[in-house]
Structure 1
């Protein structure tokens, strides 16, 4: 029986379980399965990794305090959320716990997203029957080369792609949000090619910026520059909206993105504020997940003004 659940700090504040200031209110309730130990996988960037020495109350730079499940269920309506997003770590009873949590969430009548490691189609169908409409897939790495170096995982590169296909088959096209982390050592070309492959199979892409956290294997690595991240965001947007194909993008000999294949003035007119905002399931704004509050966010939790977007786009072209 599930007794505890982790709640992201901002979500807990919005619910009244914690007191604190929010620069941006979460529009989705971000929750995580509770497990007293480490994940069975050993991703080099992850706080929850099998060999991580980091604080298990964290995921990326966000603190996730644990609360009794009953208290969370009572407080959730106070947050005014439009969706529940359940993050999972991999442990022996994970699937059973997720199914129980979905049953407990049902009276709230909110759509539910679940981010999870590969499970069978039968499990996916059980999730769907319990109100889940989107699945988050933690591919994370933009190439098999990077995957093998940072994803010490129970699941291979090919198995992650097969799982993505299973999600699309069970839930429908566009219902798999595949997570990709910018800054793990990939080239821009690798990132663009993987995003294009995902959009080609009718999956969606959620971009994250690598965040070094003390106690992880990559604690001394550097996050991506904001300029590079903005260029990858722009490429993702153009691919998603079918405004450009992979053949249109230009790269130098090092695989760095140097052009988008669209004249600058035309591109300035095409880019919407959503290009630089959090791209996730409906109702997801994921405020300050991988950035510090006093700095310009990698992913804006609310759409920036059009004139600001024009300035961003002009600066990165």
Structure 2
């Protein structure tokens, strides 16, 4: 069942514009993991196995994002000053693009790919093109464009992203059903985004970028069933589009700031199902679901499935790859804080991690009753 939302806008004070003049295209917000890796912020990763392999950045403006997605840390009505803003519950410092490029070229690191994300603000599209060009011309990083589909109106818009230097694009659809998309991103929260347009842009992208280089983002825990989520993964797969899975992680002072993360069993079953669909070609129609819409069985050979679970790969971060095909965008803080149980592993899970995953997989299961 979908989360009920508080009444938007009427009882929420808009966050005032920042006095900080730094904005794109000269400046961007940078993930905390990237800022740490490049020596901009102090800190260390919670596990010694973590090595950042992808740099994530986001356009930034003194004005708020014009969108108002219920779960987003940069949403228009989030009651937090920009200087205190978090995104996915961690700090995203503002850094000059020139400094990022200089550090990317001079500081030792293992990052192979850059992801350039857009706020929904009108100038963000053109500014993203400028930023992509700068990194393409001045660094060896592969580049992904994380598209705000509401800013894309034609095939030419996507061609410009490709021609600027992005070899891949991702579209953050986030919600797995049209009803949840509308509730969390559309008219009820006075947002500009529309479900049909996001899928139209996704399909259009497959005509501009080579096969296998278009992806979508989906966020688990916005009120969907596992059957609904995995059906959205299958829809993308049928278009030749891979799904990158995130776990909802409540941002304080957003409309969903008081809602919990989804049960970890729900998330693990989704991760395993997505891996079977995207990586191994199993169709969601092959799965069996119970009355609660949970996976009751993947209906594959048990020994084969056990080997897949033991590999740990379904539970690793799904993201854009490096030149070898391994995930480069491994987002160490993309789904939770360092003190919390890891949901997307940014490294190969250890034997102890696999034991935890096996315990988690069916921990909240409602039972094997037919849907």
Distance 1:263 1:316 in 2: 17
8 Å contact 2:88–2:333 — kept in the other structure? Answer: no
* Structure 2 SS opposite 1:239: helix
Q: Which residue of 2 aligns with 1:25?
A: 51
Which stretch shows the higher mean deviation, 155-164 or 55-64?
55-64
Q: Deviations over 1:248-290 (max 9, x none)?
A: 2121222122211124333102443221000000111110222
Is the Cα–Cα contact under 8 Å of residues 179 and 207 in structure 1 kept in the other structure? yes
1:10 to 2:33 alignment: yes
Partner of 1:268: 306
Aligned residue runs from structure 1 range 1-317, under 5 A: 2-23=25-46, 24-56=50-82, 57-77=85-105, 78=107, 79-105=109-135, 106-118=137-149, 119=152, 120-152=154-186, 153-271=191-309, 272-282=311-321, 283-305=328-350, 308-309=353-354, 312-313=357-358, 316=361
Deviation at 1:315, TM superposition (A): 5.3
**1: CA distance between counterparts of 2:63 and 2:343?**
30
Contact 1:103 1:130 in 2 (8 A): yes
Worse overlay, 111-120 or 46-55: 46-55
Runs of 4+ in 1 over 4 A off after TM superposition: none
TM-score computed with the length of structure 2 as normaliser: 0.81
Post-superposition Cα deviations, 1:218-243, rounded to whole Å, max 9, x if no partner, equal 01111011111111100001111335
- Please state how far the C-alpha of 1:115 moved relative to its aligned partner: 0.8
- For 2:339 and 2:40, the matched residues in 1 are separated by 24
Give the distance between the partners of 1:11 and 1:202, measured in 2 at CA: 30
TM-score normalized by the length of structure 1:
0.94
Q: Say whether the 8 Å CA contact 2:312–2:349 is kept in structure 1.
A: yes
Distance (whole Å) between structure 2 residues aligned to residue 145 and residue 244 of structure 1: 26
Q: 1:101, 1:311 → 2: CA distance?
A: 41
Give structure 2 stretches of 5+ with no counterpart: 1-23, 322-327, 363-371
Higher alpha-carbon deviation: 123-132 or 209-218 = 123-132
| Contact persistence 1:30–1:87 (CA under 8 A) | yes
Kindly state the Cα deviation for residue 209 of structure 1 after the two structures are TM-superposed. 0.4
Root-mean-square deviation (CA, aligned residues, Å) is 1.9
- The Cα shift of 1:52 comes to 1.7
| 1:6–1:64 contact (8 Å) kept in structure 2 | yes
**Aligned equivalents of 1:310 and 1:170: distance in 2?**
42
**Preserved contact between residue 54 and residue 213 of structure 1 (Cα < 8 Å):** no
Q: Secondary structure at the match of 1:31?
A: strand
Report the Cα distance in structure 2 between the residues aligned to 1:65 and 1:200, rounded to whole angstroms. Answer: 38
CA contact (8 A) 1:268 1:310 kept: no
Gaps of 5+ in 1: none
